[in-house]
Structure 1
Amino acid sequence: MVFFKNQFANVVEWEEFRDDMIFWKWSNKEIKKGSKLIIRPGQDAIFVHNGRIEGIFQDEGDYNIDSQIIPFLSTLKGFKFGFNSGMRVEVVFVNTKEFTVRWGTQNPVMIPTPQLPGGMPIRANGTFVFKVKDYVTFIDKIAGVRESYLVDDVKLRITSVLDSLLMKWISTEGKDMFNLQANAAEISRGIREDLDMELLDIGITISGFQVMSFNYPPEIQAMITKNASHSMIGDMGRYQQASMIDAISSGKLQSGGMAADAAGMMMGMNIAKEMMKGMNGDGGQQGGNGSGSGQQGSSNASGQQGSGSAPSGGGKPNFCPNCGAKNEGANFCPNCGQKLG
């Protein structure tokens, strides 16, 4: 019975096809005479003998191994099934689709920045896309030593180097540390190129990488939001006045309370300050004109007094230079006591 059992033809196929599995290895030890190969959509079948790729079959369909597969194998073209022997060969099925995977930093990445000596703790998340590209390298490095390979295995490999790549490209392209989203495209492009070089070593290519968002610590995010709102407001004084008026009129600040009293006092001070600015502006202009005319009148008066205050003989002045009182030839002014001679 064992003799006839070994002669039964087998079907070489990947029956339990999984979307999260990158490759699967057919587990039987021998391919019997009359066996069939079934390739389903999204699969490639690779025949491996003694660690060497013998043939790659990519078109979906059913194939007779004796007549349609063996004639195309590299070193097994002349293989003939013996009386009680099968062909010892491995068949590796590869999932040919592109895998899209979500990623996220497990811990904050400390990005060096002058504003924070210890670095800026930043989290990030996004997606990356990959697929198997080089079958020879993939068989040599992965499929030759493992029975299967999952998307999670690739994700683990990528996340192990992602923190250092984020730090590298944020430092390179993050021109504004508080608005990294504006440079997300450049940062993503740099990380994709580096990851592609990293995974080509196992025959996998990264065809896409995207940073969807950068996340700051709550206190930093609150500061960024506040700064953005301030820059949109423009005139902070008017904004504060309008906010207080709105708060009081809407009933959020009840009259008679401490908050309402403080708000009313602040609003009154701000309004008084604005009024004083306006008055000082008008008064300054009028005062400037008045002081000019006053100086001119003083100049004329002093000129008139000066012309009659000192006699041509150089004796005592006829009028006191201090108060303008008439002098009768005394040495001191009888009105203010100013020395006259």
Structure 2
Amino acid sequence: MAIIDRVKFDGLRSRDWIVFKHPADNLVVGTQLIVGEGQAAIFVKSGRVCDLFNAGTYTLSAVNLPILQSLVNIPFGGQTPFTAEIYYLNVVSNLDLQWGTSDPIQIIDPKYYTRLRVRAFGQMGLKLSDYSLFLKELIGVLGPNDIVKFNLIIDYFKGVLVQKLKAVIADIIINQKISALEISAKLDSISETAIERIKPEFSRYGLSIVNFFIKSINFPEEDFEQINEILKNRAEFEIMGDSRYVTKRSFDVYDHAASNESGVAGAFAAGGVGLGLGTAMGYKMQNTINTEAVLDSIKCTSCGISIAGGTKFCPECGASLAPKTCQCGVKLPAGAKFCPECGKKVD
């Protein structure tokens, strides 16, 4: 393998990389090492993290390779070749990492008692805090010219991230009894709680969380339709009042039952409505109908005053209001003077 006397990584145009393994592994004393701004270079020998270099230009010698010198006993009398792996690290914070819960969080809304499939989406920032600890988890996995990007790190931690977020969101909604419709006001406190729970998981690998935000917590439109129907019924209840709302719902149920192919009994059986409830609603409907019938007024055929429906005698003139029958058997309409069937005069 050719001896390399100059090591440099220009980096990528984007800043979404976190680790790059340089292909150089056969170096010489006197090799020039160039580390760019926002970078760090680490020498690794036999799986052990050795010397660290921050941004700058270095000529490799016994002065700046003390740990590596102790491992391989490099004679520095000339350009002596030696082997070592060089890893470039991106030490700049990446603040634009997107995350989301791929699987929905199944919960029962504590206010509307409907099943919801909640999802959360947000943004976070990561930064390398412990270079050696981070590299120890990657050594042996990367090959020459391999680049590790931040998105790969997010994918690696996605299981832990989603698990912690599910626990936090479910705790807020269920235990604190905050409806999913009202949870937007709690995004800041949820974010603060979530970052405290996931920090230890990232720090175990030498990563620190710079920021963490939950942008939205939402659920599918079809789940919202259930709550929308409840809100609509509640609005009717508040506007109409207790008794009128119950009466309206009674007519709605019976109207639905009448349109059901299996009839009223089948509709109640399918809806889980018991016989007692159906009977009670029947009595309530009958009373309502009777009340409306009483409120219908008629006129006396003798004096012409208005009288409540169902009255048998006029309270003004005493005339009988009962329907009459002609001798031919035909029922005569109120106020008739002659029989419309036989023409006989009505007494």
What's the TM-score, normalizing by structure 2? 0.57
Distance, in Å, in 2 between the alignment partners of 1:139 and 1:54 is: 11
Distance, in Å, in 2 between the alignment partners of 1:231 and 1:55 is: 70
| Structure in which a larger fraction of residues adopt helix | 1
Residue 32 of structure 2 corresponds to 36
Residue 55 of structure 1 corresponds to 51
CA deviation vs aligned residue, 1:272-309 (integer Å, no higher than 9, x gap): xxxxxxxxxxxxxxxxxxxxxxxxxxxxxxxxxxxxxx
Distance, in Å, in 2 between the alignment partners of 1:114 and 1:224 is: 12
Alpha-carbon shift at residue 170 of structure 1 (Å): 1.3
Alpha-carbon shift at residue 43 of structure 1 (Å): 0.0
Distance, in Å, in 2 between the alignment partners of 1:34 and 1:125 is: 50
Q: Is the 8 A contact 1:54 1:75 kept in 2?
A: no
Matches within 5 A, 1:76-95: 79-81=74-76, 85-95=80-90
Judged with a 3 Å threshold, the aligned counterparts in structure 2 of structure 1 residues 75 and 218 are, in CA distance, closer, same or farther, namely same
Residue 64 of structure 2 corresponds to 69
Secondary structure of 1:69's aligned partner: coil
Judged with a 3 Å threshold, the aligned counterparts in structure 2 of structure 1 residues 169 and 32 are, in CA distance, closer, same or farther, namely same
Alpha-carbon shift at residue 86 of structure 1 (Å): 0.9
Residue 163 of structure 1 corresponds to 162
Alpha-carbon shift at residue 140 of structure 1 (Å): 1.1
Matches within 5 A, 1:244-263: none
Secondary structure of 1:181's aligned partner: helix
Distance, in Å, in 2 between the alignment partners of 1:221 and 1:23 is: 44
Secondary structure of 2:15's aligned partner: coil
What's the TM-score, normalizing by structure 1? 0.58
Distance, in Å, in 1 between the alignment partners of 2:232 and 2:15 is: 46
Residue 333 of structure 1 corresponds to none
Alpha-carbon shift at residue 134 of structure 1 (Å): 1.3
CA deviation vs aligned residue, 1:201-259 (integer Å, no higher than 9, x gap): 22112222111111122144457679899999xx958xxxxxxxxxxxxxxxxxxxxxx
Equivalent of residue 199 in structure 1, options 190, 195, 202: 202
Residue 134 of structure 1 corresponds to 130
Secondary structure of 2:193's aligned partner: helix
Distance, in Å, in 2 between the alignment partners of 1:191 and 1:74 is: 45
Distance, in Å, in 1 between the alignment partners of 2:233 and 2:111 is: 20
Distance, in Å, in 1 between the alignment partners of 2:46 and 2:139 is: 13
CA deviation vs aligned residue, 1:161-185 (integer Å, no higher than 9, x gap): 3332222101222331231111112
Give the letter aligned to residue 45 of structure 2.
H
Distance, in Å, in 1 between the alignment partners of 2:201 and 2:17 is: 20
Give the letter aligned to residue 129 of structure 1.
G
- Alignment pair present for 1:154 and 2:153: yes
Structure 2: where are the runs of 5+ without partners? Answer: 241-347
Alpha-carbon shift at residue 157 of structure 1 (Å): 2.0
Residue 110 of structure 1 corresponds to 106
Judged with a 3 Å threshold, the aligned counterparts in structure 2 of structure 1 residues 131 and 231 are, in CA distance, closer, same or farther, namely farther
Structure 1: where are the runs of 5+ without partners? Answer: 238-341
Judged with a 3 Å threshold, the aligned counterparts in structure 2 of structure 1 residues 62 and 230 are, in CA distance, closer, same or farther, namely farther
**Which structure is larger by alpha-carbon Rg, 1 or 2?**
1
Q: Percent identity?
A: 25
| Structure in which a larger fraction of residues adopt strand | 2
- Alignment pair present for 1:22 and 2:18: yes
Equivalent of residue 187 in structure 1, options 190, 207, 212: 190
Distance, in Å, in 2 between the alignment partners of 1:228 and 1:41 is: 58
Which stretch shows the higher mean deviation, 184-193 or 87-96? 184-193
Q: Is the 8 A contact 1:13 1:39 kept in 2?
A: yes
